[in-house]
Structure 1
Amino acid sequence: MSRGRTGVSVELGDCSPRGSRQQWRRSSVTEFGVEGSESAGFAVGTADGTVLALDAEGSERWRTPGDEMAVALAEFDTSLAVGTRGDRGRVRLLDSSGDEQWAYDTASDLGGSAKDTLFWYPFVVDVVAGRPDETGDSGLYAAARRYERDGDQRVWRSAVYAFGPDGEVRWRYETDASPISLSLDGSRLAVAYNRCGGDHDCGLMVLDADSGTPVADWDPGTAGERRVGDVSLSGGDLAAASHGDYRGYLLDADSGAEQWATELGVERALGDETLYAYPNHALLAGDAVVFVTGNSFPEEGREAEGRHPNEHTIAAFSREDGERLWSSSVGGFAGEVVSSGERIAVPCAQHFRDRDAEAHGLRVFDAREGLVREIRAEGIVTAAALCDGRVAFVEEPVEYHDEDEVRGTYRVRVEQI
């Protein structure tokens, strides 16, 4: 561990540099421990499967090995749930000392990888945990998917799981669509499906958390398999980032009824091109609704000469009426957006066309006011978490295809905000 003027840095070992284009997740970080107490801190998942726990100031408490990329983390009571990407696509539960309590292989349901490549591996895309109810019981939820091709057809197999504290599968909700994220609020679990190319033809499902029974659903109603990029559930509302029509929506969680919608990355004619940008993230933070957009794409082909005016933009709206509160550039591709109270953190990776290393870093926003702080990074920032007035974020090395230079190292940094 090394200390800087404002924070600390913990090395995470060796990993190959990222390239010019974005790649799938291979690192993760989450708050871990009771906020405001001596146990408050962070947990970090790495590309080689190692998981480590840090206190709030960044000192290491423990680390435990793994054999598949630790790509999703969630605190579950006093334990830590880990979702992996690899041959087995595992959900692991580690106790407060890092010892494994149980593990479940999603490949036993979804099948193993048809090719020995990252994109084809079973992938636990998200894990979320509920707080104990009046009986003292609680639940852990995970979404996993597996991809393969059948001729020209993309084929997805996926499942959403509810686990008890002992690893028992309480229920399983299986589809032939591709889940991208989960959001839990009390007795409701929202599931966003970013690709629906089979019989399951709905981009957003709300399930009863106790039984897995569908309660409500919503879809942008657009052609093609692209549907929903992210979902956030809180206080009876759903925020959805639509990949179908490039808009952001606020929905009623019990019925799926639309309350309002806003244009984010909708098609714009610029010169000889018509460009769009995917809204990749949605977040309910207090009385604000936040969306973050990604890369520009042309209506025809994949390589755009121009840039959509809302590319790589974070925008906040009033939950009540959809009025825009503020917007700001995030500089490059954001792998996620996280919050704690009114604070929002956005880890920024590379702009895969402009490749501007000055954009690498982490940006912290206030849900009502906008930008609070920018933290520069030599490498790209791929994951972040907030706890007790601090932010922890993973920095990964990057080597652009037109440069003979590796920028950054593989590490987690903890800074005060």
Structure 2
Amino acid sequence: MTDANTDPAVVRDEAGWSLGDLEPAASRHNWTRSGVTVHDGSIVVGTADGRVRSYDPDGECRWEAGGEEYAVSLAADDELVVVGGRGPTGRLRVLSRETGEQQWTYLTAEDVGSPARETFFAQPYVVDVAIAGDRIVVVARRYERDGDVQHWSSVVYGFDRAGELQWSYDARASPIAADVADGRVAVAYNRCPANHDHDHGLVVLETETGTELTTWDPGTPGERRVGDVAITDERIAVASHGDKHGYLLEDDGAEAWCVDLASECETDDETLYAYPNHVAVVDGTAIFVTGNTYAAETRDPDGRHPNEHTAVAVDLESGETIWSHDVRGFARCLSADDGLVAVPSAQNFRERDADTHAVHLLEAGTGPLETRSIEGISTAVSLSGDRLAVIEEPVEYHDEGVTRGAYRLHTWRLEG
């Protein structure tokens, strides 16, 4: 593993604002409750009580829009802010970026179904949103369990900017992430149950029409398929849950290379593995981030996979690993821009060490630049231009009984 760069800091001028009260996360990871995005220096935050706030580059709150569901997925451009919710209706909201006034709304529960139970996990969930020219791409899902049988329903939507639905793509599977580039949207499905008819971990659609262009799957047994996707002008990087490898695919789905990220290994009579949960492509480099250790025989192993909670950089052309960096805690997402990648590190629920609470800034070609500690857990991040924004949530470990941190927005300016 490489150590953090000892050169002068590139992360400067920290500021922070309270986002109100929030029940602390526990030792294990809460599901996504907040979101943040940076566009042209301004910062838009979605909160657990449904509020959406826009801050200007100097930190002044320009407007606030209320809501009723967790505001968890965000995208913004010069005119619009798109907000995806998690709650009874799976509400999509499109707001004016200038004023916060609602332009239009759509209830994804009308397509994926209403929650069968009141539990958080059963609520309709707008997993991801993106603005791609004259299309707003939205990915929504809902989960239901009947005894031992799991059911997933999901829809990928293509709206025009006025809110008219132009196309949709339905699947009885669990989408977890999407990425858009060059007139295409790539959708990653992390679960494709055998009792359903969708067996592609990756689907690539034409952004304008929703036409299916390419599908791909790791071809492994079980329902676990793809954890994340990053699409470039010519290729597609995939973090595979099926075999715990990272892949680079050609446009037609042909495999250019694959690397082992955290596949099964034997340690003290345990068969351990970790899921590659995230991938970004930056400056000719694919950066993957892995998650928690699991074992073939138990969900709570004694050992730790040597590559758990690790960022791994792979040269896009050669498929060779350039560097790796231990981020120490679970990362719910990552954000990349201008040769840099930001990784928010939350709790490691087995180690329960508050020193893991941080945001890591990595340079695509050379590795870690700087790590900033956060008192609570960092749960959402956005990096754009010279601005880095992170959402902190409070946490209380079950064997401590102490609340660490608060519900806050942190911002930094980047130099160098």
- What band does the TM-score fall into relative to the shorter chain? over 0.9
Q: CA offsets per residue over residues 319-362 of structure 1, 9 Å max, x none?
A: 00111111101110001011111011001100010011011010
Residue 389 (1) aligns with residue 397 (2): no
Residues of 2 paired with 1:403 and 1:299: CA distance? 29
Contact preservation (8 Å) 2:289, 2:312 = yes
Tell me the alpha carbon deviations over residues 15-41 of structure 1, each in whole angstroms, 9 at most, x when there is no partner: 100000012100010113xxxxxx621
- TM-score scaled by length of structure 1: 0.95
Distance (Å, rounded) in 2 between the aligned partners of 1:6 and 1:403: 32
Amino acid at match of 1:400: Y
Contact residue 392 and residue 406 of structure 2 kept, 8 A: yes
1:253-298 CA-partner distances (Å, limit 9, x unpaired): 2x10000000001011011111000000011112000100000001
Tell me which of 152, 159, 164 is aligned to 2:160: 164
In structure 2, what is the equivalent of residue 415 of structure 1? 412
Deviation, 1:124, is 0.3
Contact kept? 1:56, 1:388, Cα under 8 Å? no
Would you say 1:99 and 2:109 are equivalent positions?
no
1-structure distance, mates of 2:22, 2:213: 43
- In structure 2, the residue matched to 1:25 is 32
**Structure 2 counterpart of 1:85:** 86
In structure 2, C-alpha distance between the alignment counterparts of 1:398 and 1:43, rounded to whole Å: 23
**SS in structure 2 at match of 1:119:** helix
Provide the rounded CA distance (Å) in 2 between the counterparts of 1:87 and 1:394.
24
Distance in 2 between residues matched to 1:169 and 1:157, nearest whole Å = 19
Q: Does 1:209 align with 2:210?
A: no
1:146 deviates by 0.5
Residue of structure 2 in register with 1:345 after alignment = 342
How far residue 301 of structure 1 moved from its aligned partner, in angstroms, is 1.5
Q: One-letter code of the match for 1:211?
A: T
Deviates more, 1:381-390 or 1:260-269: 381-390
Q: Which has the higher contact order (CA 8 A, sep 6+)?
A: 2
Structure 1 equivalent of residue 375 of structure 2:
378
* CA offsets 1:131-182 (integer angstroms, 9 cap, x no match): 3xxxxxx110010001101231100000000011111110010010000011
Instruction: Write the distance in 1 (CA, Å) between the matches of 2:384 and 2:156.
Output: 28
Structure 2 residue corresponding to 1:13, chosen from 13, 20, 24: 20
- Please tell me the residue identity of whatever aligns with 1:117: T
Q: Is the 8 A contact 1:378 1:408 kept in 2?
A: yes
Give a deviation string over 1:218-243, Cα, whole Å, max 9, x none: 10000110000000001211010000
Distance between the aligned counterparts of 2:85 and 2:279, measured in 1? 23
Runs of at least 5 residues in structure 1 that lack an aligned partner in the other structure: 33-38, 132-137
Instruction: Give, as a single letter, the amino acid of the residue that structure 2 aligns with 1:242.
Output: S
- Report matched runs for 1:166-181 at 5 Å: 166-181=162-177
In structure 1, C-alpha distance between the alignment counterparts of 2:124 and 2:338, rounded to whole Å: 33
Q: Which residue of 2 aligns with 1:231?
A: 229
Contact 1:56 1:387 in 2 (8 A): no
Q: CA deviation at 1:42?
A: 1.0
CA–CA distance in structure 2, aligned partners of residues 244 and 57 of structure 1? 44
Equivalent in 365, 387, 397 of residue 368 of structure 1: 365
Deviation of 1:76 (Å) = 4.1
Q: Please say if residues 336 and 384 of structure 2, whose CA atoms lie closer than 8 Å, have aligned partners that are also in contact.
A: no
Give the Å deviation of 1:55.
Answer: 1.8
What letter corresponds to residue 238 of structure 1 in structure 2?
I
Count of residues paired in the alignment: 401
Equivalent runs, 1:16-415 vs 2, <5 Å: 16-32=23-39, 40-96=41-97, 97-131=99-133, 138-197=134-193, 198-253=196-251, 255-415=252-412
Contact 1:296/1:311 (8 A) holds in 2: yes
RMSD value over aligned CA atoms? 1.2
Give 1:416 deviation, angstroms. 2.0
Percent of aligned pairs sharing the same letter: 48
Cα shift at 1:77: 4.5
Q: Which runs of 5+ in 2 are unaligned?
A: 1-11
Q: Which runs of 4+ in 1 moved over 6 A?
A: none
Instruction: Measure, in 1, the Cα distance between the counterparts of 2:315 and 2:261.
Output: 15
Deviation for aligned residue 1:192: 0.3
Shift of 1:59: 2.4
Instruction: Find the aligned partners of 1:415 and 1:284 in 2 and give their Cα distance.
Output: 23
Q: Matches of 2:123 and 2:240 in 1, distance apart?
A: 26
* Secondary structure of the corresponding residue to residue 6 of structure 1: strand
